Amino acid sequence: LLFCIPIIQGQLPYYNEEFKNETAIFFENQGELRIIGAHWELVTYVPLINYDNRYDQLSTEITNMTHHCKDMLSEYEVCSRFAHVVKTMFMEIASQREQMYESIGRYVNTDSKISSVIRSRRGLINIVGSAMKTLFGVCDDDCTKETNSNIEKIETSNENMLHILKSQTTVVKSVVQGIGSTSTEMNNLYLELGKKQADIYKKLNEAANHTHTIETMILSNRIHNIFTALLTQFSYETTTISAIITAARTGILHPSLVTPRELARQLTQIKLNLPVNLNLPMGIKPNEIYELSKITKMAVYYSGSQIVFLIKIPLITELELTLFKIIPIPHKIDTNHSIILKPEFQYVGITKNRRQFTTFTETQLLSCTETEIFNICPEFQPIQHESVRQPCEVSLFKNPEILPNNCEAGIIVITKNIYHKLKYANTWIYTTNSDTLTITCQGEREPHIVKLQNQGLINLKPECRAYANDIVLNPTREIKSKYY
C-alpha cells in the first residue's frame, strides 16, 4: 500500500517496478515541513525631518551668499559665478527631491528662484497629498495606527531598538548608510557655514569701501568649500532616499537602509525574546538570511515625514513534519475499468513516528513557502493524533495488511496510458494496459526496450530519454532531492 522510490542499481540506465495489483496510494515525499505558530513584527523606519531641515538650511545659506556677493565689489564677478553654480546644482537636487516626494504622495512647491523657495519653505513639510500612502503590501488604518504608536515609544525612549513583547514587535530606528554616519559632521558644517557667512557680512560692512582683505578672501574660500561639501552630501542623501523608496515599491529592504549584518544583529535580538516553543525559520548569521524576503510579508508606507517598513516574520513550531502528496493508484478489475481510492485530502504532513499529522488541500498549499531547508505552511487544520477516526490515507501510511473500513473507492474508466512525473525525482508513475518504452542514453549505441503493463514506476538516469507510443519521458539533470 505504501510505495517508496528505489535507487537505480546495477548498470541499467533505468529501473522499472510494477506495483502489485491492489488498491493503493502512493505517498510522494515533498520534503520537510514546519507549521507557522505565530508572527513577529520587525518595524524599521527612516525619519525625513532632518533631511527636510537640511534642505531649508541650504536654501537659506544660498540666499545669504547671493546677498553677500553684491557687497564684494572687487570679487563680485567670481562670487556671483560661484553663486550661480551653487543655485543651479541646488535646483537640480530640489527637482529630484520634488519628484521623489511626489512618488510617495507628498507634494511640495518649488520655484526656479531660490528666494521663492525660502519664502515658502515652511510649506515644504506640509503634505498636500494623502497623509498616509502605502508604497507596498497591505497595512490598513489600524495597522498604521498601532505601528506609529510603537514608533512613538522608541522616539520617547531615546533607544535605537525596542522590543514590545506583548505585541511580539521589535521597532528599530534606521540610520541610512553614508548619511547617519556623517550627520554630526554635516551639522557642524552647517553651523560653521552660517557663522562664516555672518562673519564675512560683518567684515564687509566694517570696510569703508567694501574692498576685500586677505581675511575676507580666506573666509570666502572656506565658504565655497563648505557649500561644495554640503551640496555633494545632500545630493547623495536625495539619491539614496530615492533608491530606498524605489526598492520599497518592490518589497525590498535597500542595503543602504539595513545591511545583512545589521539585519542579522536585529534577528539575534528578536530570537532572544521569542516565546517558548517558537523559533525563526532561518539562521541568524548574515549568510543565512538571504531567504528572508521569500518567507516574510512586508508593508511599506509613508506617514508623518517618515518611511515605515513593517516586516512580518513567521515563527515556526518545534514539531517536525514531512509533507507527502497523496497519489491514488488504480486497481484494474477488467479491460476498461479500474477501482481507485478517493482520499479526503491531497497532502498530508506527518511526524517521523507517524503519530501526529495535519492535512492540506492543493489550494491551501499555495499559501506555503518553500525554502532551501523545508516548506513553511500556515496551520489550516489542527495537529491531530492517530486515532480510529483518522482519514483513510493516514491509516494507509502505516501500510496495514487490510484496507481500513473508512476508505472510500470509486470505479473509473481508463482509455489511455497515463504517466505522472514525481516532483523531486526522474521517476514516473504509470498506468497502462500495455506500452513499450524505447530508452536511449548518451554514450550508448543500442537503445533499451522496456515493456510496461498495469501500474508501476519507472526511473531514468539523467542522460537518458524514453520514447513511448504517445509521449516522451525527458529526465531533468538538476533535481533538488527531498528524500530522507
What does the pLDDT read at residue 121? 40
Q: What pLDDT does residue 350 have? A: 95
The predicted pLDDT at position 334 comes to 82
Identify the three-state secondary structure at position 93: helix
Contact 392, 407 (CB under 8 A): yes
Say what the pLDDT of residue 385 is: 92
% of the chain residues with pLDDT over 70? 80
Q: Compute the distance between CA of residue 313 and CA of residue 315 in angstroms, rounded to an integer.
A: 6
Whole-number average pLDDT of the chain: 82
Is pLDDT above 80 for 209?
no
In angstroms, the CA 78 to CA 82 distance is 6
Alpha helices (H) in 72-112, listed in sequence order: 76-103
pLDDT reading at 115 higher than 50? no
pLDDT of residue 404: 86
Per-residue model confidence (pLDDT) at position 78: 65
Poorest-pLDDT segment among 7-21, 22-36, 183-197, 261-275: 183-197
pLDDT digit string (tens) for 397-437?
888 888 888 889 999 888 889 999 998 899 999 998 889 99
Average pLDDT for 53-61: 87
| DSSP string of 265-316, one letter each residue | HHHHHHHHTPPTTEE-SS--SGGG-TTHHHH-EEEEEEESSEEEEEEEEEEE
- C-alpha to C-alpha distances, 209 to 166, 201, 212, nearest whole angstrom: 71, 13, 9
User: How confident is the model at residue 187, as a pLDDT?
Assistant: 66
- Number of Cβ within 10 Å of residue 178's Cβ equals 12
- At 161 the pLDDT is 87
Per-residue pLDDT tens for 325-338? 999 998 888 878 88
Residue count of the chain: 484
pLDDT digits (tens, 9 = 90+) for 218-267: 667 777 778 888 888 889 889 988 998 888 888 788 888 888 888 899 99
pLDDT at 112: 40
Cβ atoms within 10 Å, residue 367: 12
The pLDDT score that the predictor gives to residue 43 is: 92
**Band of the pLDDT at 467, cuts 50, 70, 90?**
very high
Spatial CB neighbours of 409, under 8 Å, sequence gap ≥ 6: 23, 339, 340, 341, 342
Determine the average pLDDT of the residues in 380-393.
90
* Rounded-to-integer distance, Cα 239 and Cα 244, Å: 9
- Residue in the structure block whose three cell numbers are 520599497: 248
pLDDT in tens, 156-184: 887 888 888 888 899 988 767 555 545 56
Q: How many CA atoms lie within 13 A of 306 on its CB side?
A: 20
Classify residue 66 by burial, with Cβ atoms within 10 Å: 0-12, 13-18, 19+. middle
Q: Where are the domains of the chain?
A: 14-35+320-473, 48-313
Pairing between strand 306-317 and 24-47? antiparallel
> 388 pLDDT band (50/70/90 cuts)?
confident
Provide the pLDDT for residue 1. 46
pLDDT the model gives residue 479: 54
